[in-house]
Amino acid sequence: MRCVRVVLAKKGRAKYTSHLDMQRCMMRAVRRADIDLWYTEGFNPHPYVTFALPLPLGVESEGEPVDIRLEGDISNTEVKRKLNPVLPEGIEVVRVENAVNKPGDIAFAKYSIVIYGFDGAKEKILSALASGNLPAEKTGKSGRHKVTKQVNIAEMMGDYTVSENGEFVEIDIVLAAGSTKNASPFLLLEALSAVTGESIEYKNITRKGILLANLEKF
């Protein structure tokens, strides 16, 4: 048995596929590709297929890591060759590699957020990002109950750039994505709307990569 990391691109209409449906999709694809998965032992054996960092609904991605455990001596190249023909439109294996880091090692994610422009958009967004104060309400769980707490997205940001492209503004930004601190691009846009006083609407959001604490690729 060995663990490999299948890295998927998710584009177009596929971005509306939920995490649960992505899990089902991956299981079906592996079966159709006739790839021999490793199964757990015990009363209810099941295959090991794990998405390292589930993607928010409506977000595209250039590389979603999925760890699977295999039996036999199939090569990483062969796994990619077998999987791509059986995956639905918009989902593609970009590479297969040996799994080195664990999902718990994830600390950040890099996003490209394209929004519709407005008067003074670039300057207002840059000012808000640099302010150090981007309050937002984040929903979580405390036991069985849902709770809402106030967070400062500015404390969960890394490097960022803001550029204009015709009628659109693109925000490239690194956001916390670890188990203790994490911020979604939607929460960032909510905070930016509140601080700038503008109703910010996005055209597209793409997760460009997942990073370790030292900002190296996961």
Residues contacting 172, CB < 8 A, separation 6+: 110, 111, 112, 113, 160, 161, 162, 163, 208
Residue 142 pLDDT class (50, 70, 90 cuts): low
Amino acid identity at 141: K
pLDDT at 143: 66
Length of the chain: 218
Mean pLDDT of 113-118: 97
Residue 101 pLDDT class (50, 70, 90 cuts): very high
Q: Where in the chain is the domain with CATH 3.30.2350.10?
A: 104-212
Radius of gyration for the chain, computed over Cα atoms and rounded to the nearest angstrom? 19
Residue 178 in this model has a pLDDT that exceeds 80: yes
Residue 159 pLDDT class (50, 70, 90 cuts): very high
pLDDT at 50: 92
By CB neighbour count within 10 A (0-12 exposed, 13-18 middle, 19+ buried), where does 196 fall? middle
pLDDT at 42: 75
Residue 148 pLDDT class (50, 70, 90 cuts): confident
Q: Where in the chain is the domain with CATH 3.30.70.580?
A: 2-100
Topology of the domain comprising 2-100: Alpha-Beta Plaits (3.30.70)
Tokens 């209810």, residue? 44
Q: 197: left (phi > 0), else alpha (psi -120 to 50), else beta? A: left
Top-tier CATH class for 104-212: alpha beta
CA dist., res. 129 & res. 169, Å (int): 14
pLDDT at 39: 84
Q: 3-state class of 26 per DSSP?
A: helix
Least confident among 38-47, 114-123, 140-149:
140-149
CA dist., res. 183 & res. 150, Å (int): 12
Q: What mean pLDDT value characterizes the chain? A: 93
Residue 138 pLDDT class (50, 70, 90 cuts): confident
Residue 25 in this model has a pLDDT that exceeds 80: yes
